[in-house]
Structure 1
Amino acid sequence: MNLRPILLVEDNPADVELTLAALKRSQIANEIVLARDGVQALDYIFCQGQYADREPEPPAVVLLDLKLPKVNGLEVLERVKAHPEHRNIPMVMLTSSREESDVVRSYSIGVNSFVVKPVEFDQFFDAIRHLGMVWAVLNEPFPAKRP
């Protein structure tokens, strides 16, 4: 079984560390690819820039922060969901924003899930563990090649 990577798009070092620790403790075997801004995320997904030579396999899931440098999470979401070859990549907005407008806009663009980061360490850890399990292990991905 070929495990597709999880793309973590996060610029906050503390959230990166917690997320990676939670995924590791959950024994998620998928490779975790880290993008620290929206440009890196788009480069990875669209196999361009520093990722031009990577295999064009889509990630199992994109864990996407809303507030990112260079290109924000909503713009990343919009570009991915607008592209016919990539619109079926599961994307989870993982953010500290509780703004109703962010939730509404994310779902209207096509986000698969909107998760507000819990402030408490244990809650954040559990949320990431469950997200990794559902999207990387249990979710049946959209077939790469359709008949």
Structure 2
Amino acid sequence: MHTGLGPAGGQTVSIILIEDDDGHATLIERNLRRAGLTNGFIRLADGQQALDYFFGDDARFVLEPPPASVILLDLKMPRIDGLEVLRRLKADKRTASLPVIVLTTTDDPREIERCYELGCNVYVTKPVEYDAFIEAVRRLGFFLQVVKLPTGAGGQ
């Protein structure tokens, strides 16, 4: 059975975008949709909002988990940064199997290594130049259409 994220998939998938920059969030969602993704989008504006969504007292993710989810995670955010969000997601058995794609402007090799050590699945550097950023998101969209998800990703 096909379990990709694209329109041919027999699976409903949510993309959980954890991104504090409104402009980047809009560009990411718009260009993933242009690449053919019709998935549900959940936008969380910073690390604290993300931790509340996954682990808070009224955590929507635990109460009503989507069937499958992919997390797009920025690192540089106010309140709680993406590294701490990644660490917490991978340390909790309810969220450890969720695929996490780090999508950030940082290309520091030490930070890339740290993300992989913490359990990120893919690390993508956001190009600073507008057209290159759009192209990177478009390519990410094509990748997300063919990627396979673990059974039960989404807290089930």
TM-score by shorter chain over 0.5:
yes
Amino acid corresponding to residue 21 of structure 1 in structure 2: R
**Aligned equivalent of 2:87:** 78
Aligned length: 144
**Cα deviation per residue 1:11-38 (whole Å; 9 max; x = unaligned)?**
1122112112211211211011100011
User: Structure 1 residue 48: deviation in Å?
Assistant: 4.7
Task: Give the structure-1-normalised TM-score.
Answer: 0.86
Q: CA RMSD in A?
A: 2.1
**Contact 1:3–1:29 (8 Å) recurs in 2:** no
**Aligned equivalent of 2:7:** none
Question: For structure 1, which segment, 49-58 or 102-111, has the greater mean C-alpha deviation from structure 2 after superposition?
Answer: 49-58
Consecutive unaligned residues in structure 1, runs of 5 or more: none
Amino acid corresponding to residue 38 of structure 2 in structure 1: A
In the alignment, the residues of structure 1 paired with residue 19 and residue 68 of structure 2 have an alpha-carbon distance, to the nearest angstrom, of 15
Equivalent residue in structure 1 for 2:115, among 106, 121, 128: 106
**Cα deviation per residue 1:61-116 (whole Å; 9 max; x = unaligned)?**
11100011221100000001111221111101111112222111101111111111
Work out the percentage of aligned pairs sharing the same amino acid.
36
In the alignment, the residues of structure 2 paired with residue 59 and residue 92 of structure 1 have an alpha-carbon distance, to the nearest angstrom, of 14
**Aligned equivalent of 1:41:** 50
**1:99/1:52 CA distance change after superposition, 3 Å:** closer
In the alignment, the residues of structure 1 paired with residue 57 and residue 143 of structure 2 have an alpha-carbon distance, to the nearest angstrom, of 28
Q: Which has the higher contact order (CA 8 A, sep 6+)?
A: 2
Tell whether 2:121 aligns with 1:121.
no
**Aligned equivalent of 1:144:** 152
Question: For structure 1, which segment, 63-72 or 46-55, has the greater mean C-alpha deviation from structure 2 after superposition?
Answer: 46-55
In the alignment, the residues of structure 2 paired with residue 53 and residue 60 of structure 1 have an alpha-carbon distance, to the nearest angstrom, of 13
Q: Spell out the pairing of 1:53-68 with structure 2 (5 A cutoff).
A: 54-57=63-66, 59-68=68-77
SS at match of 1:111: coil
User: Structure 1 residue 42: deviation in Å?
Assistant: 2.1
In the alignment, the residues of structure 1 paired with residue 50 and residue 134 of structure 2 have an alpha-carbon distance, to the nearest angstrom, of 23
SS at match of 1:22: helix
Task: Give the structure-2-normalised TM-score.
Answer: 0.82
Q: Spell out the pairing of 1:17-36 with structure 2 (5 A cutoff).
A: 17-36=26-45
Amino acid corresponding to residue 110 of structure 1 in structure 2: G
Consecutive unaligned residues in structure 2, runs of 5 or more: 1-9
Amino acid corresponding to residue 37 of structure 2 in structure 1: I
SS at match of 2:103: strand
